[in-house]
Structure 1
Amino acid sequence: MTAFHDLHRSGLLILPNAWDGASAALMRSLGAKAIATTSAGCAWSLGWPDGDVLPTERAVQMCADVVRAAQGVPVSVDFEGGYSDDPAEVAATAQQLVEAGAQGINIEDGGGSPELLAAKIAAIRAAVGGALFINARCDVWLRGVGEAETRVAEALRRGAIYQAAGADGLFTPGLTDAAGIAELTGGTDMPVNLLAYPGLPGAAELERLGVRRLSAGSGLASAAYGRTAALAKDFLQDGASEPMGDGALSWGEMNALMP
């Protein structure tokens, strides 16, 4: 087991999601206990769309960049669907992520079958052993699978399949209501991970409900790009300099964060 595993044993692990080395260094400086990546933010930062299309060599290099900037803080990589439907190929790429320093991954079922994700998880576990924390992402809420009242049961069904294949945690982005959260955490012995989302209870309530991990997802990257868009729009219109200094970190502050 790794330090990253240990962070899921009690309390609520709040995970900020980095999208490059600089954002990882910033989050480390703010005291993050662990850092995750956001597939969307990482893809955007490299000029690619999100959605399992980033070349695997770029994903592995991004992992190495974030691990270097994290300076010993555990890093978990958003592995999307593994960038392949071939479990052997997925496992080979996961091995590269481990070699690059990842202590955890998220891997999602997306629009595929639970059985396919289970096969990928089993192949990864066989390739890398028990040290890697495998967080199985169940997309029944994001994809609107079935009726709303059946989704917790479906997530628990899928979670059991993923756990049997070797998953360590269950990630259910889009679940926000307290009753559903309590039903989910009460129905599995895997640490449950939720995504920061409108309507989600606060950290103290989530911990009380039994949630063990809360991820920012692409929210921080989207906010940063939104702020950049607003500043760039003003700059392009009238060359305004002053707004760029509002809340900005100085050159020296940013440079000092880099390893």
Structure 2
Amino acid sequence: MIVPTVSAKRDSFWKLHESGCFVLPNPWDAGSAQLLAGMGFKALATTSSGHAWSCAKPDGYMKRDAVLEHVRSMVQATHLPINADFESGFGEAPSDVFESVQLVVATGVAGFSIEDSTGDTRAPLRDIQEAVERIRAARKAIDESGTNTLLVARAENFFVGRPNLPDTIRRLQAYAEAGADCLYAPGIRTRDEIATVVSAVAPKPVNMLIGWNSELTVSELSDLGVRRISVGGALARAAWNGFHNAAQALANGRFDAFPGSPTAAALNQVFLGAAPTNTR
């Protein structure tokens, strides 16, 4: 296998955002990343929740150094471009975000997201001007790195219990003006909400989160103008669900809840080859 350079992976990631619609699934470790890479996906994204749960922590409780090490390991796990869930940028001041972005770019990611949530349930969203300054700091760090790492800006209104579509759009438009390459409003669900967001930020691409059982299909989301679709922690939750059900059966003295697929032989085959070592 010819292993693409980091630069080549960033170039191919940008091309995916130029037209059409692609699925960007979210593995939580190197093994799940390799399994997805073998299924024909064109890029992968990390999940802050999936990674945190694998470390026995709640989402949002991982330190920056641990997240950077995780992102680096995911970049090295497959030949695919990786988009990092970089939470809120790990710092209060724009200068902190600037430093954090320098570090995450150095891991070799093809892209990363910065969200505008605070983690404070009393005031879950940052002031829009403060959030804009943080996106500007991220943009500056990328530009000074001399790379074409893709910057995704997230408006967390619907995710944090503030489902205000006009404010969500104002934020996304402001983030686009501040230098974001792709926009993301996790938590929007209806066709009207999706179409309104896509139209409001055009021609910038939009990421759609489908982290629940949805009647929408990839084809329908593409028709609505969505450029990429991620699933957040949904795959990790599905894995935890299978583990929990099997473990609960064991606790009840039964052995009838182990999943029938994949087999040990099938998993061994997935990991038979060594993970590619990325070069720059």
Structure 1 and Structure 2 fold alike (TM over 0.5): yes
Structure 2 counterpart SS, 1:193: strand
Partner of 2:231: 216
Give unpaired runs (5+ residues) of structure 2. 1-9, 118-123, 276-280
**1:106 corresponds to 2:121:** no
**1:178 corresponds to 2:191:** yes
Partner of 2:85: 78
The answer to whether the 8 A contact 2:74-2:82 is kept is: yes
The answer to whether the 8 A contact 1:194-1:214 is kept is: yes
Greater per-residue helix proportion: 1
**1:125 corresponds to 2:142:** no
The answer to whether the 8 A contact 2:176-2:201 is kept is: no
Partner of 1:204: 219
The amino acid that maps onto 2:170 is R
Structure 1 counterpart SS, 2:74: helix
Partner of 2:75: 67
Q: CA deviation at 1:234?
A: 1.7
- Show the 5 A alignment for 1:30-179: 30-51=39-60, 53-71=61-79, 73-110=80-117, 111=124, 112-129=126-143, 131-145=148-162, 151-179=164-192
Q: CA deviation at 1:243?
A: 4.2
Taking only the aligned residue pairs, the percentage that are identical comes to 32
The answer to whether the 8 A contact 1:29-1:257 is kept is: no
The answer to whether the 8 A contact 1:79-1:105 is kept is: yes
Structure 2 counterpart SS, 1:77: strand
The answer to whether the 8 A contact 1:177-1:199 is kept is: no
Give 2:207's match in structure 1, choosing from 158, 181, 193.
193
Give 2:241's match in structure 1, choosing from 226, 243, 248.
226
Dislocated runs of 4+, deviation >4 Å: none
The answer to whether the 8 A contact 2:50-2:233 is kept is: yes
User: CA RMSD for the aligned pairs?
Assistant: 1.8
Partner of 2:3: none
The answer to whether the 8 A contact 1:193-1:213 is kept is: yes
The amino acid that maps onto 2:115 is E
> What TM-score, normalized by structure 1, do the two folds share?
0.90
Give unpaired runs (5+ residues) of structure 1. none
Q: CA deviation at 1:245?
A: 5.3
